[in-house]
């Protein structure tokens, strides 16, 4: 379907071409979405930024998660997470991921805040 993420971004940009006149803001989620979003932004001559979010991983299986947290603190935790993990473990994992989000914001955006979204005219 796609040769690589660059190819995917170029094809996505072509599909989104009609939105160019609306001065879109292209947002990408590291890691995999960055190259795709960057190609879309380049092709559409659009503003580009990163949204930093993290999975809340299970301690014994970090590939699986019981929720997620965004850089603004918005958090989603599966309703049944308390059956799998103690409340203090959930909070500890959240704090670890908040620290990692802060680190990534500094490393990937130079500490700059995410661009503000304007919805509607």
* pLDDT tens per residue across span 72-117: 999 999 999 999 999 999 999 999 999 999 999 999 999 988 877 7
How many Å separate Cα 52 from the centre of its chain? 5
* pLDDT tens per residue across span 27-58: 999 988 999 999 999 999 999 999 999 999 99
Q: At what angle do helices 32-44 and 5-16 cross, to 10 degrees?
A: 40
Can you give the residue ranges of every domain in the chain? Answer: 5-50, 53-109
Contact 43, 13 (CB under 8 A): yes
What pLDDT score was predicted for residue 114? 82
What pLDDT score was predicted for residue 120? 64
The correct CATH number of 53-109 out of 3.40.50.2300, 3.30.1310.20, 3.30.70.2740, 3.40.50.2000 is 3.30.1310.20
Residues whose CB falls within 8 Å of the CB of residue 22, separated by 6 or more in sequence, listed in order:
none
Structure tokens, 37: 């979003």
SS3 86: coil
Closest CA to 96 of 44, 34, 45, 54: 54
Whole-angstrom distance, CA of residue 71 vs CA of residue 118: 18
């Amino acid at each position: 379907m796609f040769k690589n993420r660059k190819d995917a971004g170029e094809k996505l940009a072509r599909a989104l071409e009609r939105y160019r006149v609306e001065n879109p803001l292209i947002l990408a989620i590291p890691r995999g979405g960055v190259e795709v979003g960057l190609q879309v932004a380049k092709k559409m001559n659009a503003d580009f930024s990163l949204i930093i979010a993290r999975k809340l991983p299970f301690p014994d299986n970090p590939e699986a998660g019981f929720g997620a947290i965004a850089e603004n603190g918005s958090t989603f935790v599966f309703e049944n997470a308390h059956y799998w993990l103690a409340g203090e473990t959930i909070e500890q994992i959240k704090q670890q991921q908040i620290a990692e989000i802060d680190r990534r914001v500094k490393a990937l955006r130079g500490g700059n805040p995410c661009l503000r979204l304007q919805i509607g005219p």
